[in-house]
Structure 1
Amino acid sequence: MSAYVEFQQVKKVYHMGEVSIEALSDATFEIEKGEICVIVGASGAGKTTLLNILGGMDTLTTGSVLLDGKEISKYNKKELTAYRRYDIGFVFQFYNLVQNLTALENVSLATQICKDPLDAELVMDEVGLSHRMNNFPAQLSGGEQQRVAIARALAKNPKLLLCDEPTGALDYNTGKAILKLLQDTSRKNGMTVVIITHNQALTAMADRIIHIKNGSVYSVEKNENIVPVENIEW
């Protein structure tokens, strides 16, 4: 049986005038369904490029990418838009909430564009924000805003949840709470979660760890001793 996510010899070259910059070279790895995968590497290593290609926000130069048996790297613009809309949930470092909508309205917004959404109020409850549904983003703490962003991504009922430095703008304890939420959600719902980070300590929470260095996949390992987030220190 093939893996849920497959990257096969993916290369990405950006052309800037006369200059060609290779952001990814020969990146190859697999992720199984329901896994938490942490992709770790220094700034500029190629993590975000990789995530953007997997999320259908960027295209590759050569190679192939498959999700759930479908080769997304062959999709045209229209197919990529549908893919981002229906199959992928995104969580970024900054929460990207609509400021003049309540927390619940922000989550409901996402459910209106997808095929098989979850109940927005239920998801808000799951992320621990049932008491904050009618608050606007400006009335919420950073951690609460990030919970709304995660709820919005989860409410789409995506095949894949992609998180780009999801705790980057948060303090230590709030960041831990957000990572625990992601770990618990993955376990409970069998959700496949990919987290990119420069924080080496977070690899302890992952089922699969991918190290990226200078645009190449340096190593892929299966974690035999997964640590609950609350027990990780950094």
Structure 2
Amino acid sequence: MEHFVQFEDVSKYYQTGSVRIAAADHLNFYVDKGEFCIIVGPSGAGKTTLLNILGGMDTCDEGHVWLDGQDVSHFSEKELTTYRRYDVGFVFQFYNLVQNLTALENVELASEICRDPLDPAATLESVGLGERLNNFPAQLSGGEQQRVSIARALAKNPKLLLCDEPTGALDYKTGKQVLALLQRTCRETGRTVIVITHNTALTAMADRIIQVKSGQILSNKVNEHPVPVEQIEW
């Protein structure tokens, strides 16, 4: 069976003076379509490097990266730009919203560069912001701004949603609400969602758990009984 996401012997090296550091060291793992996957590991484990390679923001030095049957690792710069634009939605720790645009305009911005975008207003409504379309980022709470950034990523109608510590700038309660939204999005749309975190407690909500340490994959496990994030305490 062909996996939706697959890393085959992927390595990424950085040179510091005469020392060569492997940020990704012969990574092998896969994620299947429609899974809610959590990649967990301590700071500096190589999680963000892995995400950047999968998202086409960085390239690997060795190996192959596959998404939906495409070998992303051998794309040209132009092909990578197209890939980032159409196939991948990004959600970061910081919301990166355009401050002088409303919530709706921020989401419209993303939908305008895509082949088959979702309706921006309907997407904001789906993340619980139907009443806030005309608010500017400064008029929104941190949790609401992160919802706008999720709506912006979803409006592109991407094949894959990549989330790098999406609750890192949020308080406990708001963080849980955002994670519940991401889990619900995965369940309701069948979209593949990958979340990076250092919080091991969150792995209980995942369909698949990938553990990373020192640039290597420690384990890639299926969780037969994922639980709603509301039931998780940390």
Report the TM-score range of the alignment, normalised by the length of the smaller protein.
over 0.9
Q: 1:197 aligns to what?
A: 197
Q: Aligned-pair distance for 1:16?
A: 3.2
**Total equivalences in the alignment:** 234
Aligned residue identity for 2:171: D
Q: 1:6 aligns to what?
A: 6
Q: 1:224 aligns to what?
A: 224
Hey, what's the Cα distance between the residues in 2 that align with 1:17 and 1:119?
49
Aligned residue identity for 1:59: T
Q: 1:25 aligns to what?
A: 25
Hey, what's the Cα distance between the residues in 1 that align with 2:81 and 2:21?
26
Q: Map of 1:64-83 to 2, 5 A cutoff?
A: 64-83=64-83
Hey, what's the Cα distance between the residues in 2 that align with 1:15 and 1:76?
23
RMSD of aligned alpha carbons:
0.6
Q: Aligned-pair distance for 1:74?
A: 0.5
Hey, what's the Cα distance between the residues in 1 that align with 2:21 and 2:78?
27
Q: 1:92 aligns to what?
A: 92
Aligned residue identity for 1:41: G
1:206 pairs with 2:206: yes
Hey, what's the Cα distance between the residues in 1 that align with 2:108 and 2:202?
30
Aligned residue identity for 2:22: E
Hey, what's the Cα distance between the residues in 2 that align with 1:19 and 1:109?
42
Aligned residue identity for 1:39: I
Q: Map of 1:171-186 to 2, 5 A cutoff?
A: 171-186=171-186
Hey, what's the Cα distance between the residues in 1 that align with 2:21 and 2:77?
23
Structure 1 length-normalised TM? 0.99
Aligned residue identity for 1:65: V
Show structure 2 runs of 5+ residues with no match.
none
Q: 2:35 aligns to what?
A: 35
Aligned residue identity for 2:119: D
Deviations 1:153-196 (A, max 9, x none): 00000000000000000000000000000000000000100000
Segments of 4+ moved more than 3 angstroms? none
- What percentage of aligned pairs have identical amino acids? 67
Deviations 1:27-59 (A, max 9, x none): 100100000000000000000000000000000
Hey, what's the Cα distance between the residues in 2 that align with 1:55 and 1:226?
25
Hey, what's the Cα distance between the residues in 2 that align with 1:148 and 1:187?
19
Structure 2 length-normalised TM? 0.99
Hey, what's the Cα distance between the residues in 1 that align with 2:97 and 2:19?
36
Q: 1:51 aligns to what?
A: 51
Q: Aligned-pair distance for 1:18?
A: 2.6
Secondary structure of 2:80's aligned partner? helix
Q: 1:138 aligns to what?
A: 138
